[in-house]
């Protein structure tokens, strides 16, 4: 019996399929775009194809993320905060503080030893400090998301970026570049500005020894380095960091199937 989690984020939709031993057998990732239902279907179809199995049945599907009610094939919905906690605990059982930077919001989540959420706070009022902010910065410089991490790591004299508004930061970046400042120093300045806000958000829920960085922005190694520098310690990042919400949703789905088995 397989189970699935589908995390419909504002920017990206992720799907994960787990087998009966809670091992990941398939992943799907797609841009959410305007048609949220289609994005959920696309990510799920990708995860099914990725699992390379044609002889299986999905016992339970949990939808999460801002578009969780738009997963037409989902059996139930659970908030992304709960799913991130569960997913982070699965990958890093000792972690207690989670930083999730997604496309349009940033969350700091505190979990207990069972992976249950005990506190959280979030910034979803504007794009400041989110993936959207990084995308705007990359685009004004003329780089792709895949490139900005490596480029920022070459910085030796990071600049201080003062604007956290997506619109104003573009002109600040152009003004630095116009004065001959290096692209890597500008990007590292952007990363440092986001890191400062993110660490302040984490302090509001409390910083524990083991911190896990999740969400699509954790794929940016320049951001990981900026957060670690600000915290003066390493953070957990998994190659599956962008899937953590979907993994948590699939784990909740797995628990539901166990309850069904227990009840029958």
Q: Does 248 bind ligand ADP (CB under 6 A)?
A: no
Binding mask 77-106 for ligand ADP (x = CB under 6 A): -------------------------xxx--
Binding window for ligand ADP (CB under 6 A); candidates: 36-44, 86-94, 128-136, 228-236: 128-136
- Whichever of 83 and 253 has its CB closer to ligand ADP, that residue is 83
Given 2, 10, 25, 192, the residue binding ligand ADP (CB under 6 A)? 10
Q: Please, what is the minimum distance in Å from the beta carbon of residue 192 to ligand ADP?
A: 16
Residues 40-69 touching ligand ADP, rule: CB under 6 A, are: 65
The per-residue DSSP string of the chain comes to: -EEEEEEE-SSEEEEEEE-TTS-EEEEEEEE--S-HHHHHHHHHHHHHHHTT-SS--EEEEEEESTTGGG-TT-SEE--HHHHHHHHHHHH-TT--EEEEE-SS-EEEEEE-TTS-EEEEEEE-SSSTTSHHHHHHHHHHHT--HHHHHHHHTT-SSPPPP---SHHHHHHHHHHHHHTT--HHHHHHHHHHHHHHHHHHHHHHH---SSEEEESGGGG-HHHHHHHHHHHTS--B--TTGGGHHHHHHHHHHHHHHHHHHHH-
Q: Does 129 bind ligand ADP (CB under 6 A)?
A: no
Residues 185-224 touching ligand ADP, rule: CB under 6 A, are: 215-217, 219-220
Q: Does 166 bind ligand ADP (CB under 6 A)?
A: no
């Amino acid at each position: 019996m397989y189970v699935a989690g589908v995390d419909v984020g504002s920017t990206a939709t992720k799907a994960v399929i787990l087998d009966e031993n809670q091992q990941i057998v398939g992943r799907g990732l797609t841009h959410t775009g305007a048609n949220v239902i289609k994005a959920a279907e696309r990510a799920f179809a990708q995860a099914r194809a990725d699992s390379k199995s044609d002889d299986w049945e999905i016992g339970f599907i949990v939808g999460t993320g801002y578009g969780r009610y738009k997963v037409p094939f989902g059996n139930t919905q659970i908030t992304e905060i709960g799913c991130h906690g569960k997913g982070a605990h699965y990958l890093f059982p000792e972690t207690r503080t989670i930083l999730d930077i997604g496309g349009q919001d940033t969350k700091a989540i505190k979990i207990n030893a069972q992976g249950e959420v005990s506190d959280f706070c979030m910034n979803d009022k504007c794009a400041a400090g989110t993936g959207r902010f990084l995308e705007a910065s990359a685009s004004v410089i003329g780089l792709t998301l895949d490139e900005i991490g490596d480029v920022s790591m070459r910085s030796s004299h990071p600049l201080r970026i003062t604007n956290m508004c997506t619109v104003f930061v573009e002109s600040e970046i152009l003004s630095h570049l116009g004065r001959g400042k290096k692209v890597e120093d500008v990007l590292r300045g952007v990363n440092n500005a986001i890191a400062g806000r993110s660490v302040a958000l984490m302090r509001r829920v409390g910083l524990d020894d083991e911190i896990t960085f999740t969400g699509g922005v954790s794929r940016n190694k320049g951001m990981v380095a900026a957060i670690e520098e600000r915290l003066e310690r390493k953070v957990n990042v998994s190659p599956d960091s962008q899937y953590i919400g979907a993994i948590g949703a699939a784990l909740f789905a797995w628990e539901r199937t166990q309850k069904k088995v227990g009840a029958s």
